[in-house]
Amino acid sequence: VVAEAASGLRFALLGSGSRGNATLVCHGSTRVLVDCGFSATEAQRRLARLGVDAAELDAIIVTHEHSDHIGGVARLARRYDIPVWMTPGTHEACREMTDVDVVLFDPHTAFAIGDFEVTPYPVPHDAREPCQLVFGDGDLRLGVLSDAGHVTPYMRTVLAGCHGLLLEANHDVEMMIAGPYPPSLKARVMGDRGHLSNLQSADLLRSIDTGALRHLVLTHLSETNNRPELALQAASEALNCTPDWLCVADQNAGLGWRTL
Ligand SMILES: [Zn+2]
Ligand SMILES: [Zn+2]
């Protein structure tokens, strides 16, 4: 178990990819889980790996209703009495939230959870009312972006100047085209409301101010249609360097603690 640093804005990933996503973001004594695509028991096991007890979570924020993001949310929330934050559309789209303390939020309006200011923003994805998030502590900002088919001007505005960024690099376009997915699934993933390719993520990095960036984690990589080295290479080229804080989150291992 890697010990959690005492304070500061810090984050870790329980796992990342189409078989399950969950991200832990902490500041001071506030602990927020973004999504939980793992079973409650598996999430507990992965939290313990990071030195965190699920009972210590202050909130779970759900970005959208796809099963790789919501799989274990209801059970975990019920087991530990954790409030679950989501947009009204996400709430309408997921049926399993009975006996859960649901807090609805507008994806255009910032809100506070403990020591965090959370700024949600809408993203184009094939879900009812999907959003992604920026976490701020009044000084530093951590941007989270996955599950978006393309990058809108508003997304660029929100993510510019972040100190940390968890950024989807779902697929390599050539691997996807040559790969085994049926045509309909290829079209869905590569479509305007699908997932960001390595090149789309690199284009985003080129188009925003990354001067303050000190952690960049590439997330939601396809195990079928991408390879870590391809995603890393695209991001390196966009940044014009290969910083030691550029890395990839793994489906099974996730990512250990990083502090901004
Ligand atoms: Zn996903
Ligand atoms: Zn999704």
Q: How far is the CA of 21 from the centre of ligand 2 (A)?
A: 10
Cα separation values, 94 from 15, 38, 40, 88, 194, Å: 22, 16, 17, 10, 19
CA 205 vs. chain centroid, Å, equals 16
What percentage of residues in the chain have a pLDDT greater than 70? 97
Please, which residues have CB less than 5 A from ligand 2, an ion?
66, 147
What percentage of residues in the chain have a pLDDT greater than 90? 95
CB 206: neighbour CB atoms within 10 A?
12
Judged against a pLDDT cut of 50, whether residue 1 lies above it is answered with no
pLDDT (tens digit, 9 = 90+) per residue, 147-158? 999 999 999 999
pTM for the whole structure: 0.96
pLDDT (tens digit, 9 = 90+) per residue, 85-99? 999 999 999 988 989
Span 234-255, average pLDDT: 97
Q: Return mean pLDDT, the chain.
A: 96
Give the pLDDT of residue 98: 87
Span 98-110, average pLDDT: 96
Give the pLDDT of residue 7: 66
Q: How far is the CA of 70 from the centre of ligand 2 (A)?
A: 10
